[in-house]
Amino acid sequence: MNDILNQISLCIEKGKVNQNSNFPVDMKGLKGAVELTQDALLMGISAYKVLNIGFLTGMQIVGEKFKEGKIFLPEVLISAKAMSSSMELLKPYFKSGEINYRGKVVMGTVAGDLHDIGKNIVKMVLEGGGWEVIDLGVNVTAEKFIDAIKLNSVKTVGLSALLTTTMQNMNDISAKIKAEINDVTVIVGGAPVTKAFANSINADEYFPDPQGMLDYLNKKLLTNNL
């Protein structure tokens, strides 16, 4: 059983989405993450094991390598694609309650900004780690963030921006969220964002990579602060 779960993990690590995928070259023609996930479920392996051994292990390796600068965005993107395509097959198990998410976070790209690659990668890494992400998309106003946080009763919100010009909106949005809602953690990220910038706008946390945020969320869960 572990063999097929290891294979799923490897496909995610290498970015092998499905049998038709041309990438990576050395896995051409082989079954991909999607087919193997299907096979595992048909074999009677629990959705829980597929998620926590198959997906999580693979995405963990990707997250760590990216953090260490060993792989770059395109590799993370394709790995995340392999994972999220396979994750579709697990949706019914989440719905039925057979598997549960670890927790929920709200994410969005701030008002005025239409870039979403960074946000999407973080979303996929978090989902691979078993977290539910309420994705508000791009160009999201403070009001929209606040509504989503209240509606979903989440304690953590992630703001993303790619432009130095829209980074400034993080200041207003963060302030408005904190003014309206008690006890919410505001996390910021994006190419032009730095720790210094995050401190200057009173954001709670900043992470330069998705694994950082995932590790943080998991740690907080352990201390039961979520």
Partner 1 sequence: MHKISELLETGKVLVSDGAWGTYLFKKGLLSGTCPEEWNLTHYDDVLEIAKSYINAGSDIISTNSFGANVFKLSQYNLSEKLSDICRSSVEISRRAAGKDKFVMASLGPTGKFLIMGDVTSDELYDSFRQQAIAFETSGADAVCIETFYALDEAEQAIKAVKENTSLAVFCTFTFDKTKEGFNTLTGITPQQMTESLILCGADVVGANCGSGFEDMIEIVNMIRLVSSRIPILIQANAGLPTIENGNLIYSETPEKIKEIIPKIIDTGVNIIGGCCGTTPDHIKVIAEIVNRYNQKIK
Instruction: Determine the distance from the C-alpha atom of residue 178 to the mean position of all C-alpha atoms in its chain, rounded to a whole number.
Output: 23
The strand ranges marked E within the chain are: 104-109, 132-135, 156-160, 185-189, 205-206
Judged by beta carbon, residue 45 or residue 203, the one nearer partner 1 is 203
> Torsion over CA of 35, 37, 41 and 42, rounded to 10 degrees?
10
The distance of closest approach from Cβ of residue 201 to partner 1 in the complex, given in angstroms and rounded to an integer, is 5
Q: Looking at residues 118 to 177 of the shown chain, list those that interact with partner 1 (rule: CB under 8 A).
A: 139, 163-169, 171
In angstroms, the CA 24 to CA 150 distance is 42
Count of residues engaged in binding partner 1, rule: CB under 8 A: 31
Is residue 115 at the binding interface for partner 1, with CB under 8 A as the rule?
A: yes
- Of the residues 30, 117, 181, 221, which one makes contact with partner 1 according to CB under 8 A: 117
> Looking at 73, 100, 143, 151, which residue binds partner 1 (CB under 8 A)?
73
Nearer to partner 1 among residue 92 and residue 192 (C-beta) = 192
Nearer to partner 1, 61 or 99 (CB): 61
For strand 205-206 and strand 104-109, is the pairing parallel, antiparallel, or unpaired? unpaired
Question: From the CB of residue 17, how many other CB atoms can be counted at a distance below 10 Å?
Answer: 23
Q: What is the closest distance, in whole angstroms, from the C-beta atom of residue 168 to partner 1 in the complex?
A: 5
What x/- string results for residues 75 through 104 when contact with partner 1 is judged by CB under 8 A?
Answer: --xx--x-----------------------
- Alpha carbon distances (Å) from 41 to 12, 36, 95, 99: 17, 9, 16, 13
Least distance in angstroms from the C-beta of 94 to partner 1: 25
Half-sphere exposure of 88 (CA within 13 A, CB side): 10
Specify whether the CB–CB gap between 93 and 86 falls below 8 A: no
Binding site for partner 1 (CB under 8 A): 23, 69, 71-74, 77-78, 81, 111-115, 117, 139, 163-169, 171, 191-192, 194, 196-197, 200-201
